[in-house]
Chains A and B, each alone.
Chain A
Amino acid sequence: MSATNQFGEIRNAIGGIGRGGLFMLQILACIRPTVKQWGEVLRQLYFIGTRSLVIILTSAFFVGMVLGLQGYSTLVQFGASESVGAVVALSLFRELGPVLTALLFAGRAGTSMAAEIGLMKATEQLDALELMAIDPIERVVLPKFIAAVLAVPVLTALFNLLAVLGSYLFAVEWTHLDQGLFWGRMQAVVEFQADFVSGMIKSVVFGIVIAIVSVFQGYFAEPTSRGVATATTQTVIVSSIMVLVLDFVLTAFLI
């Protein structure tokens, strides 16, 4: 790739972030304290949440089991197997919980939001709203955006819970580690502010990023089958990269 092309790519990426930021301001300007709007937000929260719940909880349970297995097999060599609960909880609360939930959410709900909005555009439903003097951003985009922002931290907390349960099942039920030691070490090592809250801060940021990327890709998709397909693919790619980059940046600030 030539230097001119690379410069063009960078300029496009920066331009995309700028356009996304402006679009977010446009969305936020549509917030009204009305029952109708927040009722729609709740409806979307239900759809987005339930759509993602199964994949996130199933993944969380097995991620917890794997962490328990890996942690135990390493720690037992140093005679520190009772610390497995603490190690699992720290990895989950600080990093794996927010990041994996965000990546799974982008793949499941983010693509679904982008495709739905993109298809509404392709089938002139957004035009129809505009022609009925109904703002498509307020009616279609905003409820999905807010619902996604609210859903990610809740799903992260549930991910953490199920993953800890998965590691507990492995460590206590399978390897017969004393459950008092499992919970006791975890309680002694994990700090609410430094570990749990910092992870939840990350999940809020990831939620905002995925929400804006998804609705932006859908809303500005080319109104064709290929355009919608591109929008869904771009949602996963852009969201995943941004989540991983922001994870590093946030960790540097929060650690």
Chain B
Amino acid sequence: MSSSETTAFIELENVVFRRGSRIILDDFSLSIPQASIAAIMGPSGVGKSTVLKLITGQIKPESGRVVVNGERIDEMSDRQLNQYRKTLGVMLQNSALFTDLSVYENVALPVREHTLLPETIIRRLVLTKLHAVGLRGAIDLYPRELSGGMARRVALARALVLDPALVLYDEPFTGLDPIAVATVSQLIRHVNAALGLTSVLVTHNVTQMGKLVDLACIIVAGKVAAVGSPQSLFDDKSPEVQQFMDGLPDGPVPFHYPATELSEDLLV
């Protein structure tokens, strides 16, 4: 699937974003088609989560445009952002489950807040989503009683409970065992196809990316180093892309944060 052939659901155009004096995204542009699954990849600290935060409207770019479903996110008021976020499902990096609520109440929270559905319907909805992630039997547990992988699956159920138009996953496979990775991967694919929603994943998992997504983008030094189908990325001969796809420690993307020579520091 190429972005030129289908309607773009998410568009970031010439986005510039800084943290203090450090530039995170530099003239960054990306287009994600509707009903697709897209992966944003790149070395740690390169600004992948920043892209998600721009899409959710948590941060605004210094310049450039962020458009989702035809609406300028970077120009929205707080009230408009609130309405927009009701159509979003977000799975955060560390799950962010509410520690004083049970698994059931965590998943039910968005439904209770945004709908007037009776308790019987809420229960069915929550149980369906928890069943899909294999945790229907864990409804009475509290987040402190869950493993990291289980917590991520509950967070996934919570992100999907209102059947959003757009789902954002920040590192969805981190901390999951191979069975859970396959299940979550299958679930993402299934809900995407069944509900026609658009999914954006931030991930380091090249293998899962290859199996799951329609479009992948690799960010290096605040810019798009490569974008296209997974196969096109595997075939890409540019050294930055090859280094990331093959997991090579040496290459154009430095492993070390900029510093003086080791000998200079050690011999002080």
Say yes or no: B92 contacts A134, CB within 8 Å.
no
Given contacts A127-B58, A127-B92, A128-B92, is CB(A133)–CB(B114) below 8 Å? yes
- Encoded as 1 (CB less than 8 Å from any A CB) or 0, chain B from 119 to 148 comes to 000000000000000000000000000000
Please tell me if A124 contacts chain B, counting CB pairs below 8 Å: yes
Select which of A120, A124, A133 is within 8 A of B92 by beta carbon. Answer: A124
Please tell me if A130 contacts chain B, counting CB pairs below 8 Å: yes
Please tell me if B88 contacts chain A, counting CB pairs below 8 Å: yes
Write out the residue numbers on chain B whose beta carbons fall within 8 Å of the beta carbon of A124: 92-94, 96
Select which of B58, B82, B98 is within 8 A of A133 by beta carbon. Answer: B82
Please tell me if B192 contacts chain A, counting CB pairs below 8 Å: no
Chain A residue nearest to B162 in the complex (CB): A132
Given contacts A124-B92, A124-B93, is CB(A132)–CB(B99) below 8 Å? no
Write out the residue numbers on chain A whose beta carbons fall within 8 Å of the beta carbon of B114: 133
Q: How far is the CB of A139 from chain B (nearest CB, A)?
A: 8
- Encoded as 1 (CB less than 8 Å from any B CB) or 0, chain A from 214 to 238 comes to 0000000000000000000000000
Select which of A120, A127, A130, A132 is within 8 A of B109 by beta carbon. Answer: A132
B interface, size bucket = 10 to 19
Interface hits, B55-100 → A, CB 8 Å = 56, 58, 82-83, 85-86, 88, 90, 92-94, 96-99
Please tell me if A58 contacts chain B, counting CB pairs below 8 Å: no
Interface hits, A134-168 → B, CB 8 Å = 134-135
Q: How far is the CB of B247 from chain A (nearest CB, A)?
A: 28
Among A120, A123, A127, A128, find the residue whose CB has the most chain B CB atoms closer than 10 A: A128
Among A120, A127, A130, A131, find the residue whose CB has the most chain B CB atoms closer than 10 A: A131
Select which of B83, B85, B93, B98 is within 8 A of A125 by beta carbon. Answer: B98
Q: How far is the CB of B60 from chain A (nearest CB, A)?
A: 14
Among B92, B96, B97, find the residue whose CB has the most chain A CB atoms closer than 10 A: B96
Q: How far is the CB of B73 from chain A (nearest CB, A)?
A: 13
Q: How far is the CB of A69 from chain B (nearest CB, A)?
A: 43
Write out the residue numbers on chain B whose beta carbons fall within 8 Å of the beta carbon of A131: 56, 58, 85, 88, 90, 92
* Tally of contact residues, A, Cβ under 8 A: 12
Say yes or no: B96 contacts A128, CB within 8 Å.
yes
Write out the residue numbers on chain A whose beta carbons fall within 8 Å of the beta carbon of B97: 125
Write out the residue numbers on chain A whose beta carbons fall within 8 Å of the beta carbon of B113: 132-134
Q: How far is the CB of A18 from chain B (nearest CB, A)?
A: 21
Q: How far is the CB of A40 from chain B (nearest CB, A)?
A: 11
Write out the residue numbers on chain A whose beta carbons fall within 8 Å of the beta carbon of B82: 133, 135
Say yes or no: B85 contacts A132, CB within 8 Å.
yes
Write out the residue numbers on chain B whose beta carbons fall within 8 Å of the beta carbon of A130: 58, 85
Say yes or no: A133 contacts B96, CB within 8 Å.
no
Say yes or no: A125 contacts B96, CB within 8 Å.
yes
Q: How far is the CB of A22 from chain B (nearest CB, A)?
A: 15
- Bound Cα distance from A219 to B83, whole angstroms: 23
Say yes or no: A134 contacts B96, CB within 8 Å.
no
Please tell me if B175 contacts chain A, counting CB pairs below 8 Å: no
Among A120, A125, A127, A130, find the residue whose CB has the most chain B CB atoms closer than 10 A: A125
Please tell me if B43 contacts chain A, counting CB pairs below 8 Å: no
Say yes or no: B94 contacts A123, CB within 8 Å.
yes
- Bound Cα distance from A127 to B56, whole angstroms: 11
Please tell me if B210 contacts chain A, counting CB pairs below 8 Å: no
Write out the residue numbers on chain A whose beta carbons fall within 8 Å of the beta carbon of B90: 128, 131-132
Write out the residue numbers on chain A whose beta carbons fall within 8 Å of the beta carbon of B228: none
Write out the residue numbers on chain A whose beta carbons fall within 8 Å of the beta carbon of B96: 123-125, 127-128
Write out the residue numbers on chain B whose beta carbons fall within 8 Å of the beta carbon of A132: 85, 90, 109-110, 113
- Encoded as 1 (CB less than 8 Å from any A CB) or 0, chain B from 99 to 116 comes to 100000000011001100
- Encoded as 1 (CB less than 8 Å from any B CB) or 0, chain A from 77 to 91 comes to 000000000000000
- Bound Cα distance from A247 to B85, whole angstroms: 45
User: Could you show 29 A-B contacts with beta carbons less than 8 Å apart?
Assistant: A120-B98, A123-B94, A123-B96, A123-B99, A124-B93, A124-B94, A124-B96, A125-B96, A125-B97, A125-B98, A127-B58, A127-B92, A127-B96, A128-B90, A128-B92, A128-B96, A130-B85, A131-B58, A131-B85, A131-B88, A131-B90, A132-B85, A132-B113, A133-B82, A133-B83, A133-B85, A133-B86, A134-B110, A134-B113
- 7 additional A-B pairs beyond A124-B96, A128-B90, beta carbons within 8 Å, are A125-B96, A125-B97, A125-B98, A133-B83, A134-B109, A134-B110, A135-B82
Binding site for B on A (CB under 8 A): 120, 123-125, 127-128, 130-135
The 10 closest A-B pairs by CB, nearest first: A128-B96, A133-B85, A124-B96, A131-B90, A133-B86, A133-B82, A132-B110, A124-B92, A134-B113, A125-B96
